[in-house]
Chains A and B, each alone.
Chain A
Amino acid sequence: MSGSTGLLTEGQDLRIVGFLCNWCSYGGADTAGVARFEQPTDLRVIRVPCSGRIDPLFIARALLSGADGVLVSGCHPRDCHYAEGNFYARRRFEMLKQFLSVTGIDPERFHYTWVSASEGQRWQDVVTSFTERIRKLGPATKMAGGTGYDEECLKEIAAAVSLGDQCPCHKEKA
């Protein structure tokens, strides 16, 4: 595929994890593929039986493990193959979405939405706009262990220990 429409801009690869439900969104992505709608290629899709199967911890784990974004998509509310899986899922995702900010992970890196099996066009829109959003945010900050201040502390302690009796803390007793 050529990047003629500008959707597939060059640059670094992003790692975006997609959780799609088997009955609607995975079908929707398939429809988009069969219809040969052009899509960005940064998304890695994981197929799950239902959006209700997605533990919010899957998303948290993906983000902590260095994913640049997580896209979750299920059947539209009222259209769940299992009648009510996505209703429970919606509450859980909303909790996680609002919670993420306090951990310092940008909540914009997580998006959940609904795409039905016939909505190939909509799938293209969803995946394109989400990828563009992540591309703007850039690669996620990698877990590096923070500022490493405790290592500085350990160095200071080691230096003080090496002083032995000369250390200022011994003065009082002397």
Chain B
Amino acid sequence: MQALAELKEQIRQALPDLDVVIGWQQGYDALHTSPLFIRSEEDIDKLVVNEFCVVNPATYLREMRGGKKVGLVLKGCDSRSVIQLLQEKLLKEEDLTIFGFGCNGVLNHTKLQARFGDIGFITSLENDGTNVTVEAGDKKETVPFTELCADKCLTCSYPNTLQCSHFAGEESAKQADSATDKALEDFEKLTMEERFTFWQDQMRRCIRCYACRNACPMCVCKDHCLANSREPKWLSEDVDVQNNFMFQLIHVMHLTGRCVECGECERACPMDIPIMLLRRKMAGIVRDVFAYNAGTNAEETPPLMCFKVEEPTIEERH
């Protein structure tokens, strides 16, 4: 990995001026990475960059505000959340150093698990970019990468880190496999009643652990989240379908025009509820109506923070 060696070198040079650099390190097994906080020289060698680097390190920025000089190793999709936060003036550009690289997609553990049973059974996994060869127990299988990668990678149009201070290795030439979101299209073939029933079934499984909120890089309210507020009281403590559904709608509405579709919420969900369907739908509407892609240009104004007197793209409602 040439990019990894370059990244490490760049971090080594930049580290004296930084309080911390956030990246990924090898996790508890070969198929997982965990977040790495580089504070000293010897930590640098722990850095890994591979198809298991699913976590968005930008999520930790929320805890790092307040003058700390932070370095971040970011995939293309992760960098969008930083740009969006910069745009909302929640971060200062001079406090950040971003180390970029070309990402070729990450794997989805839920898909691996669905295909090969428990992830613990997988003894080896080889990824050549187009095919993944997995050995689990006594069977060996080669599966196209697109069947095991995260959903966001299928429609990804930003494989290279945006607005980075340092870029390592070659740019990724990865193309989106399809311009449209197939899962969402399939879902929208259902009737209204079927969709409503589907969500009720899903929300019934929700345990409201708030992992989706806590993993979200854009959820910056921390202790002031509407979901925990008693005055006004939006949600009861009951974990029932209605409250769970309302919580998801709060999350979606608060991310309108801000969601960068990094997919962290769905990945963090312990119940594997496909909540990205809701977020992708909303991001698609924002794209259609305001021609706005969240987190791609720090100079733009978020679409719900501004208006036009005549809205050419909004139908007049009589």
Q: Which residues of A contact B (CB under 8 A)?
A: 55-57, 60-61, 64-65, 77-78, 84, 87-88, 90-92, 94-96, 98-99, 101-106, 111-114, 141, 143-147, 149-150
Contact = CB atoms under 8 A, between A and B. Distances in A.
A57 B234 contact: yes
B282 A95 contact: yes
Interface in B195-210: 195-205
Nearest to B196: A104
A124 to B, nearest CB: 14
A149 B201 CA distance: 8
B304 A146 contact: no
Contacts of A106: 192
Given A65-B242, A143-B200, A146-B200, A94 B187 contact: no
A114 B202 CA distance: 36
B278 A95 contact: no
A96 B184 CA distance: 17
B7 to A, nearest CB: 39
B176 interface: no
Nearest to B242: A143
A99 B314 contact: no
A106 B34 CA distance: 42
Contacts of A147: 197, 200-201
B195 A95 contact: no
Contacts of B241: 143-146
A99 B309 contact: no
B281 interface: yes
Contact of B199 (A55, A95, A104, A111): A104
A113 B285 CA distance: 20
Contacts of A87: 307-309
B250 A57 contact: yes
B35 interface: no
- Chain B interface: which size bin? 35 or more
A90 B311 contact: yes
Contacts of B308: 87
B253 A102 contact: no
Contacts of B198: 104, 146
B199 A94 contact: no
Contacts of B188: 101-102
B29 interface: no
A104 B195 contact: yes
Given A92-B304, A143-B200, A143-B241, A103 B195 contact: yes
A103 B246 contact: no
Given A95-B304, A102-B187, A146-B201, 17 more contacts: A55-B253, A78-B309, A91-B314, A94-B314, A95-B285, A98-B289, A99-B278, A99-B285, A102-B184, A102-B277, A103-B278, A104-B192, A113-B318, A144-B241, A146-B197, A147-B201, A150-B204
B252 interface: yes
Nearest to B194: A104
A143 B245 CA distance: 10
Interface in B280-318: 281-282, 285-286, 288-290, 303-304, 307-309, 311, 314, 317-318
Contacts of A146: 197-204, 241
Nearest to B285: A98
